[in-house]
């Protein structure tokens, strides 16, 4: 009877329906949930000092509550995993990308109050994840930690999150690329610049050679996409290292060597003896080695002024 009355009568019946439809319960203090839906771009003024009224404080609280619940859940659910694995998995679950996806999956994006004229592209990208955190801040204040814990794990995570898949998914491509460079002792450098009205473009250099690129709304996203373009090359780490070693040899071997028999025929003046194609001269090469399209189209041959280094020949 209470659910029927709350959902169908009173000035806040719309908000009761929203929370009940999204999470399956009726709030005690509906004002908390109304506040959780107000993005800072649509802030209301409150009091003589015109203090902004929005969901930022609830977002701060909800972020901490979700982190505590996820940490406890992972510790219990994965008793065989070490600290490093649990930390990486927690980071993936708590990432802005994950929270945005969860908010969209449960349908929270349909109810967030936002002023699109004031919200930049970067803000719009994250506002649904922010609202999700604010909503769980409100649930914590209204229902307590135990209720919030059960709701997040049993309803949101179970129905909308593939935790097992995230355990084996690779998302931090920048760290992976840096580790790879350290393993093979290559110098890596990221150069990022503004691109367009709201975005960044990053180029990755390995041993001073342009190797990959990426674009994103934020600097971090651009660097991750540039790293992604490298880590999705269709050959092994060993082949990539071998290719770079061959490029390094351009500084000391401007011309390819020939075998002994062919060399003797050349010295004897045999007209049928032809030297192998010269390698590119040291220091040349304006192209992008290992250039992978962020769309996943593949890795292009290494273009230089002296020719093309065919990736199929890399041992």
Confidence category of residue 133, pLDDT binned at 50, 70, 90: very high
* Position with higher pLDDT, 299 vs 68: 68
d(CA 258, CA 255): 9
For the chain, percent of residues with pLDDT exceeding 70: 69
Query: 219-225 contacts: CB < 8 A, separation 24 or more?
Result: 219/192, 222/192, 222/195, 223/174, 223/190, 223/192, 224/172, 224/173, 224/174, 225/294
What tokens does 154 get?
Answer: 């049993």
Query: What pLDDT shows up at residue 228?
Result: 83
Which domains are seen in the chain, by residue range?
Answer: 2-168 (1.10.1520.10), 173-313 (3.30.160.20)
Query: What pLDDT shows up at residue 243?
Result: 61
Angle at 114 between CA 113 and CA 116, to 5 degrees: 150
Question: DSSP letter string over 190-201?
Answer: EEEEE-SSS-EE
Note whether 99 and 132 are within 8 A (CB).
yes
67-96 mean pLDDT? 91
Confidence category of residue 231, pLDDT binned at 50, 70, 90: low
What tens digit of pLDDT does each residue of 184-209 get? 888 999 999 988 766 899 999 998 88
41-60 mean pLDDT? 85
As annotated, the active-site residues are 63, 133
Tell me whether strands 44-46 and 200-206 are parallel, antiparallel or unpaired. unpaired
Angle at 294 between CA 199 and CA 285, to 5 degrees: 100
* Position with higher pLDDT, 244 vs 70: 70
What tens digit of pLDDT does each residue of 142-169 get? 999 999 999 999 999 999 998 877 776 6
């Amino acid at each position: 009877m209470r659910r029927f009355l709350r959902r169908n009568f009173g000035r806040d019946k719309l908000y009761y329906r929203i929370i009940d439809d999204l999470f399956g319960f009726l709030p005690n203090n509906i004002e908390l949930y109304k506040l959780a839906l107000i993005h800072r771009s649509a802030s209301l003024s409150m009091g003589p000092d015109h203090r902004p009224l929005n969901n930022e404080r609830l977002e701060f609280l909800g972020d901490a509550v979700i982190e505590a619940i996820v940490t406890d859940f992972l510790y219990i659910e994965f008793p065989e995993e070490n600290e490093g694995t649990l930390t990486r998995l927690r980071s993936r679950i708590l990432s802005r990308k994950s929270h945005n996806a969860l908010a969209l999956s449960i349908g929270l994006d349909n109810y967030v109050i936002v002023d699109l004229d004031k919200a930049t592209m970067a803000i719009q990208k994250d506002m649904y994840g922010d609202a999700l955190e604010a909503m769980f801040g409100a649930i914590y204040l209204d229902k307590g930690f135990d209720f919030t814990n059960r709701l997040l794990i049993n309803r949101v995570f179970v129905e909308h999150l593939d935790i097992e898949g995230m355990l084996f998914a690779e998302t931090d491509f920048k760290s992976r690329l840096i580790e790879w460079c350290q393993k093979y002792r290559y110098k890596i450098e990221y150069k990022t610049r503004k691109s367009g009205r709201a975005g960044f473009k990053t180029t990755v250099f390995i041993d001073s050679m342009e190797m990959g690129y990426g674009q994103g709304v934020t600097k971090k996203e651009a660097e991750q996409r540039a790293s992604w373009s490298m880590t999705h090359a269709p050959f092994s780490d060993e082949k990539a290292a071998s290719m770079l070693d061959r490029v390094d040899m351009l500084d000391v071997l401007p011309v390819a060597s020939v075998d002994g028999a062919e060399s003797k025929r050349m010295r004897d003046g045999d007209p049928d003896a032809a030297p192998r194609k010269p390698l590119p001269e040291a220091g040349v090469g304006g192209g992008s080695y290992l250039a992978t399209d962020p769309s996943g189209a593949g890795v292009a041959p290494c273009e230089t002024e002296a020719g093309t280094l065919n990736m199929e020949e890399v041992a």
